[in-house]
Amino acid sequence: EAGVTQSPTHLIKTRGQQATLRCSPISGHTSVYWYQQALGLGLQFLLWYDEGEERNRGNFPPRFSGRQFPNYSSELNVNALELEDSALYLCASSFPETQYFGPGTRLLVL
Amino acid sequence: EDQVTQSPEALRLQEGESSSLNCSYTVSGLRGLFWYRQDPGKGPEFLFTLYSAGEEKEKERLKATLTKKESFLHITAPKPEDSATYLCAVQPPFQGAQKLVFGQGTRLTINP
């Protein structure tokens, strides 16, 4: 069974640009979660999508947004990038409770 | 506020030297406690879920236990390939609040 996939693996942007990160959940999983793991910090919850709706949001500014598509894949958008947005962005999917993580997208903001 | 504290931050062991990692949590009620393993630059790999005090789960050289306020991950006769960061996370009790609250992790190094 294929796991959670994320693309791209690495992304380099400059301050002020927008970044789009993509995630495909495990087949049959309807919930998708996004987490940020900055260097030296733990995983911080960003967003939770289920059945196409945003269900919960962490303590992040509105420039972090996303959506979930009818096939349950998801996109995370980060607008007006700042240097401190540099981090590993992890996507997870679940059914029913346990979250399984993808390999992450490493975002570097210069 | 829900909090998860893991100790120690880092642990170095010799191959075959058993030890335990600690995860203490403050959450009003608990839907589940999760252990993950994370290798550098990769996503966390699911290990165990524990739901109630007294519960234990085992997988190869790892055993996870749960009390009302903390969980332990026991590593028996570890091998160098067990070197990784071990993450503990709790799921708060409120319906719809599916987020996980993670600890900072314990970085485990097993020397041959």
Say whether residue B27 is in contact with chain A using an 8 A CB cutoff.
no
Is the pLDDT assigned to residue B98 strictly greater than 80? Answer: no
User: Can you tell me which residue has the tokens 């097993």?
Assistant: B110
CA distances from B87 to A20, B4, B9 (A): 27, 10, 11
Which of B32, B46, B100 is nearest residue A45 as measured by Cβ atoms?
Answer: B100
Is the pLDDT assigned to residue B95 strictly greater than 60? Answer: no
Q: CB within 8 A of B1, min separation 6: which ones?
A: none
Which pLDDT value is given to residue B97? 52
**Residue B6, exposed/middle/buried by CB under 10 A (0-12, 13-18, 19+)?**
buried
> HEC states along B3-71?
EEEEECCEEEEECCCCEEEEEEEECCCCCEEEEEEECCCCCCEEEEEECCCCCEEEECCEEEEECCCEE
- For residue A98, give how far its alpha carbon lies from the nearest alpha carbon of chain B (Å): 7
User: Can you tell me which residue has the tokens 């991950």?
Assistant: B73
CA distances from A100 to A60, B12, B107 (A): 22, 28, 20
Say whether residue A99 is in contact with chain B using an 8 A CB cutoff.
yes
Say whether residue B94 is in contact with chain A using an 8 A CB cutoff.
no
Which of B34, B46, B97 is nearest residue A56 as measured by Cβ atoms?
Answer: B97
Which pLDDT value is given to residue A8? 97
Return the residue of B nearest to A106 by Cα.
B41
CB pair distance less than 8 Å for A98 and B34: yes
**How many beta carbons lie within 10 A of that of residue A31, not counting itself?**
21
CB pair distance less than 8 Å for A99 and B34: yes
Q: CB within 8 A of B72, min separation 6: which ones?
A: B20, B21, B22, B23, B64, B65
For chain A, how many residues are written?
Answer: 110
Using DSSP's 3-state secondary structure scheme, residue A19 falls into strand
**How many beta carbons lie within 10 A of that of residue A100, not counting itself?**
20
Which pLDDT value is given to residue A72? 96
Euclidean distance between the first and the last CA atom of chain A, given in angstroms as a whole number? 37
pLDDT in tens, A72-93: 999 999 999 999 999 999 999 9
Q: Are the C-beta atoms of A5 and A73 separated by less than 8 Å?
A: no
pLDDT in tens, A57-69: 999 999 999 999 9
Buried b (16+ CB within 10 A) or exposed e, B65-102: bbeeebbbbebeebeeebbbbbbbbbbbeeeeebbbbb
Say whether residue B15 is in contact with chain A using an 8 A CB cutoff.
no
Q: What are the chain A neighbours of B49 within 8 Å (beta carbons)?
A: 97-98
Say whether residue B2 is in contact with chain A using an 8 A CB cutoff.
no
Structure tokens given for B87: 């993450």
pLDDT in tens, B63-93: 999 998 999 999 999 999 999 999 999 988 7
CB pair distance less than 8 Å for A97 and B49: yes
> Across chain B, what does the average pLDDT equal?
93
pLDDT in tens, B6-24: 999 999 999 999 999 999 9
Confidence of residue A24 (pLDDT cuts 50, 70, 90): very high
Say whether residue B105 is in contact with chain A using an 8 A CB cutoff.
yes
Q: What are the chain B neighbours of A98 within 8 Å (beta carbons)?
A: 34, 46, 49
